[in-house]
Amino acid sequence: MHDALFEAYGPQHWWPAKTPFEVILGAYLTQNTAWKAVERSIENLCAAEALTPAGLRRISLERLRRLIRPSGFVTRKAPALKAFVAMLDGEFEGSLETLAAMPTEALRQRLLELPGVGPETADAILLYALGHAVPVADEYLRRIAVRHQLLAPSAGRRTIPYDALADLTRRAFANDALGARAQLYNEFHALTVAVGKAHCGRTARCEGCPLADDLNAASSF
Ligand code: SF4
């Protein structure tokens, strides 16, 4: 799937941000929100010179709520962003480099303990902001995995858990060189978002989809 999508769409150059801290802001702001709205929030933060840990530290919670209003859920997202900076200051001397130097599993666990951080946000921060080789899963990958019969919800469950999707990606790239995996995970997640937006939304539009051949092969089993 990675190869077919890469051939169709080319490199995606993710994450769309200028700095690791901007990636982190975007990972929080994009929760349940279209990227266009996130861009408007990022523009507001940029105009307020709040696209850095120091900038975000300086502005009040109330002002932060106003600046990120385009992304919605401000009563949850604004305190969550402040909590991230408080952790960075309190435990890592305000340094993203020091934070990134933690071992992957311990760092993931610490991120998951923060308010407003679920597995998808934690993994997006790990991969795209902090350079750790972890796969990122989302609703687009969930749809593709189900429609291509790669995974099915276990008995009594309505959906596939996040960790099962991430593990599916991990196993798919298990034979690739360790040093290449971060880039493969990076590209694969971006490519699944691209095909999800173009073809695999709530309703599948399989005609012309780069993964249509794989779908036909899966349904012939
Ligand atoms: S649109 Fe169809 S072929 Fe494309 S990824 Fe979705 S299910 Fe597969």
For the CA of 209, the nearest atom of ligand 1: 4
pLDDT tens per residue, range 27-56: 999 999 999 999 999 999 999 999 999 999
Rounded CA-CA distance 48/50 in Å is 5
Residue 204 DSSP symbol: B
pLDDT at 221: 58
Lining residues, ligand 1, CB within 6 Å: 144, 147-148, 195, 199-200, 204-206, 209, 211-212, 215
pLDDT at 134: 98
For the CA of 210, the nearest atom of ligand 1: 4
pLDDT tens per residue, range 98-127: 999 999 999 999 999 999 999 999 999 999
Rg (CA), the chain: 18
Helices and strands (DSSP H and E) totals, the chain = 13, 0
The amino acid present at 42, given as its one-letter code, is I
Kindly state the tokens that stand for 43.
Answer: 């523009």
CA-based angle 21:61:33, to the nearest 5?
Answer: 60
CA of 185 to the centre of ligand 1 (A): 20
Identify which of 139, 197, 199 to mutate to test ligand 1's pocket (most ligand atoms within 8 A of the CB). Answer: 199
CA of 43 to the centre of ligand 1 (A): 34
Identify which of 9, 141, 148, 203 to mutate to test ligand 1's pocket (most ligand atoms within 8 A of the CB). Answer: 148
- What Å distances lie between residue 77 and 47, 73, 74, 120, 123, CA to CA? 19, 6, 5, 15, 17
For the CA of 211, the nearest atom of ligand 1: 3
Q: Which segments in the chain show pLDDT lower than 50?
A: none
CA of 205 to the centre of ligand 1 (A): 7
pTM of the model: 0.95
